[in-house]
Amino acid sequence: MKVAVVKYNAGNVRSVLLALERLGVDGLLTADSLELQQADKVIFPGVGAAHAAMEHLQQTGLDKVLSSLKQPVLGICLGMQLLADASEEGPTSCLGIMPGEVKRFPDSVGKVPQIGWNLVRHNNHPLFDGLPSEVWMYHVHGYYLAQGPNTIATTHYGFDYSSAMAQQNFYAVQFHPERSGPQGSRLLQNFLHL
């Protein structure tokens, strides 16, 4: 199986590649449009600012490549947020694959960004196959997507928000499966078998 990890000037790719390695998969870190189009699966990770990340995607043409992919694609953290219509951060127009606007957590929720382990409650989507209905995952983010028709899991931080979404061949998680121990590994393995 050929698994491509999108290289686009946003952090966190090394831990994703190591997580794939632990599953016996050699991930290919690439910004090459042909390699991304020919991969069996594509992982779109990211840590950083939405505006700078989208600017880089647009300058390199990766925005159009990502939007055109037909195989399963998994957005992680910033990767999930960039799949939305827009982000307050910037503000920024994003890829528009999943409906919704990414908003900053209000200061009233407590510490922003949210950093640490939090419960994810899912609706038995195949991405969560074999995981309990409430599972601890590691989060690091100051922005969130509200619940909507594409929400397949929620997390509570002051209020419930979307911590996982699905739209056709696109899947996305706000948490970091690559940093979430055995339960995160299971989710990545599930994605590889979608």
pLDDT tens digits, 45-100:
989 899 999 999 999 999 999 999 999 999 999 999 999 999 999 899 999 999 99
* Residue 11 pLDDT exceeds 90: no
DSSP state of 64: H
Catalytic residues: 77, 176, 178
The reported pTM is 0.97
CA angle 186, 187, 188 (to 5 degrees): 90
CATH number of 3-192: 3.40.50.880
**Cβ partners under 8 Å of residue 70, min gap 6:** 169
